[in-house]
Chains A and B, each alone.
Chain A
């Protein structure tokens, strides 16, 4: 169990003192994935670095399984660190070492013999799915592969705790999901505690059990991920939740372009349903009224928000122009958010 109690961190500069972390108290249970979300500069990186003593709190206490981390120095601190793994946004692999040599690095530090550490590294390479790349150098790997090496390296010492500092922020969405799936697998198979720092709500929603929201050094909200998503109390939390619901404009454009390429014919409309509308049989009613319209569901999704569910549906409408126009009008009348993505 990780206990953070009334922890603050001040950086005293010449002109002014900066409060990076302000009176934070959190408890992280064994075997859970705990997410800390916040914008950059919110103090979450500083906070997570206090867990392995890379930063020391100005006041307050960090306790991990009855060891007071914030008081450790020298050899006991190094030994405590060896029982924790950490992964980073920019992977931080040694470019001068191969995949295998990077993973054996922490084992070299504790003086394990060569045969043993290579056997262990080979097993870890299989765990993270990089078989066959043992002798590649980091520069020959993609970002996602490099992060897998970093994860294997972090697991080499059989840690009880894995710290993840924006580990997916430098990766594309698909690779992000692969890395997150890997973290979930690790949590299940190795039963270790994972503390995740991120600015992406997607990461929290996908893998975390519990979460905290940080703003200006303080934890403003925390609890079960499900509860926070359903009922965010603070404005900043709402911002994070809504960011996750409505993907950024660029993402949407990419999705639509892909869609248009896949479905070259017909009229394409995007429907948005709110709350109770989602429960009404609007589409089947539309088809009954305009039986000559052919309908094809291209894409769809439903997100849960504090206001109920929001559904998005992309439809391809084929048929007589008048009929298709009538169908679109019908949807407008039913107060369904209708957006024509492409006319015919």
Chain B
């Protein structure tokens, strides 16, 4: 134990790793990521849609909605995550009843990632050829039919690659949230790794996080490849 805090060999004292708590921390990280990602995907698409549909309108109310949405998105995308968590503590307490544990991380994870994804969604919609939307209008499609039959399917590869990028940054955010008590691998690395000076725990937590990120990225790439029919094989 004495020699374990310093030196390169301190990374390899695997007997000192508490594996059950490592796995449960992994589970917490994955749970926080997936739960917030689902909410972020829904909120992000809604916000992105709102930004896209109200852009460039001459209608006063559309411009007002666009301005407010853009302001909300820009503000929450700009606040550093670690400050956002602290800033949202009262809201978190009100929403989930606690400021400790994986659940407590959710509001700040969602509020910081949803605007980030909303911008990507807006961009993905803008990349759709305007002529395709015009063609649907010429066929008598309603606004809503254009959204779910044209905008969403035609931008699906960009939406999925956007959610992959968002998911990966969410994994990073959960680790940061862990430092202030949200649980998960970040929490474990901070408490057992840093404060108890157990470098092996930090290393193992890092490797697990990397694996989760790789799995996310690969899964995202595969789905994008399946969805994208623009390039013939």
Contact = CB atoms under 8 A, between A and B. Distances in A.
A and B associate in one complex: yes
Interface of A: 52, 54, 77-82, 84, 86, 88, 90, 92-97, 105-106, 108-110, 137-140, 153, 157, 163
Contact of A81 (B129, B139, B150): B139
Nearest to B141: A109
Interface of B: 129, 131-132, 134-142, 145, 149-150, 153-154, 156, 227, 229-232
Contact of B132 (A94, A157, A163): A94
Nearest to A102: B135
15 contacts: A54-B138, A79-B140, A81-B138, A81-B139, A86-B135, A92-B131, A92-B134, A93-B132, A94-B153, A96-B229, A106-B140, A137-B229, A139-B230, A139-B232, A163-B138
Contact of B232 (A77, A90, A137, A163): A137
A46 B230 CA distance: 30
A183 B147 CA distance: 31
Q: Which of B136, B139, B140, B141 has the most CB of A within 10 A?
A: B139
Contacts of A78: 140-142
B154 A96 contact: yes
B12 to A, nearest CB: 50
Which 10 pairs of residues, A with B, have the shortest CB-CB distance? A81-B140, A92-B135, A82-B140, A78-B140, A92-B131, A86-B138, A137-B229, A140-B232, A106-B139, A96-B153
Given A78-B142, A81-B140, 14 more contacts: A54-B134, A82-B140, A84-B138, A88-B134, A92-B134, A93-B132, A95-B154, A96-B227, A96-B229, A105-B139, A105-B149, A109-B136, A137-B232, A138-B229
Contacts of B137: 54, 81
A319 B232 CA distance: 54
Contact of B154 (A79, A81, A94, A139): A94
Nearest to A74: B142
A52 B150 contact: no
Contacts of A80: 140
A54 B139 CA distance: 10
Contacts of B135: 86, 88, 92
Nearest to B135: A92
